[in-house]
Each structure stands twice: as structure tokens, then as C-alpha cells.
Amino acid sequence: GHYGRGLFISRRKKTMRSHIFSLLVLILALTALAASATHLRGQSEASVDAQRTFASTLSILTDLYNSTNGHAWYNRQKWLEPQTFFCTWYGLTCDDNGLLTEINLFQNNMRGTLPDSLGGLTHLQRLTLSFNSISGPLPNSLGNLQNVTTLDLSYNSFSGALPDAWATGLSAVTHIDLTGNSISGSLPSSWSKLATLQSLSLDSNHLTGSLTA
């Protein structure tokens, strides 16, 4: 009778509610899974990017070592040793993410030329290679070091002109020291665009002219 139909309808409502609840749970689970997959994919992409950065840094540091007679450096502790992380090599400093932020190889018997690849160290903030015997031109590629604040290449044997390319790329530089080299020519007018520059040392070179504002 009516009682049986009512019981049947009640059970059917409960069954429907149960299905709807199960469906909501399934939707939530699928949403969480999708979010997790996106997160993992993001982590995976970040991991791949980090691996590429580390591989690139290692390659550039190898270039630097080879082009400046690394086997004769006064101190080359851990450089190019197998199964060592470059952050532990002499003269190098990294941030918490393992990105190279400083090279300081002051007075380390470096001889030869700087590799163009050095400009690929885009996370670098300080580059100090003073009191060595590095020769050749100042690489245009150093203008790609957009995070460098201190660039000290003083007391070497660099020759040729001051690179125009540095004017647009060195957007964070505050100190440039090129004292005691054999740089010639005039100061590029474009260097007046180095808005963050606080000190520029060019004594004991073969330069002419002046830097205009």
C-alpha cells in the first residue's frame, strides 16, 4: 500500500543521495589528483630547468679553467674533480638554491683569455679576477651578466676597447674596476647609460676622452 511505496521512495532518495555523495567524492578526488599532477609537473619542469642550469654552469666553469691555464693556478682546490659540486670549489659561492653567485679568483696565477661563455653565468652577482695575467679583449658577452653588481678585472693584461655591449646588459652593476690593464681607445658614450654605476676605476690604462653624463 502507501506505506510500501513511501518506503521504496525513501530508499530511492537515500540511494540517490548516496550516489550524489559518491560522485562528489569522486570529483573532489579527481580534482585533487589533477592539482597534484600539475604540481608534480611544475616540480619536474623546475627540476629539469635546474639541471640545465647546473650543467651549463659546469660547462662554463670548465671553459674558464681551461682558457686561463687552470692546472697552474695557485689554488685550484676541487676544481673539475669528479663527483664534486662546483659550489664547493675554491673561489666560488652559491646561494641556497645552488646557483653560482660569486667568483673570486683574486691573485691566482690565471693566464690566458676569458671565454665568451662566461657571459652565460646570468645568476652571477660578483666577479673578481684581479691581480692575474689574463690578456686579450674584454669579452662583449660579459654584458649579459645582468645580475652582476661588482666587476673587478683590475691588474691584468686586458687590451683593446671598452665593450659598447656592457652599457645595456650590465643593468645592476655598481662597481667596475679595470685599473692597471692595457685598454685603449675612448670611453663609449653609451656607458653613461649605466644607471646603477657608483664607481668606475680606469687608472693606468691607455684611454682617451671622458665619460659624459
Tell me what pLDDT residue 63 has: 98
Phi, psi of 26 (to 5 degrees): -65, -45
Q: Is 132 exposed, middle or buried (0-12, 13-18, 19+ CB in 10 A)?
A: buried
Contact 130, 156 (CB under 8 A): yes
> pTM of the entire structure?
0.78
Q: Chunked in runs of 10, what are the mean pLDDT values of the chain (213 residues)?
A: 50 58 51 47 58 90 98 97 94 94 98 97 97 97 97 98 94 97 94 94 89 54
Q: Which residues of 76-97 are buried (b: 16+ CB within 10 A; e: fewer)?
A: beebeeeeeebbebebbebeee
Calpha distance 35→67 (Å, rounded) = 48
Tell me what pLDDT residue 200 has: 95
Tell me what pLDDT residue 51 has: 80
Tell me what pLDDT residue 96 has: 92
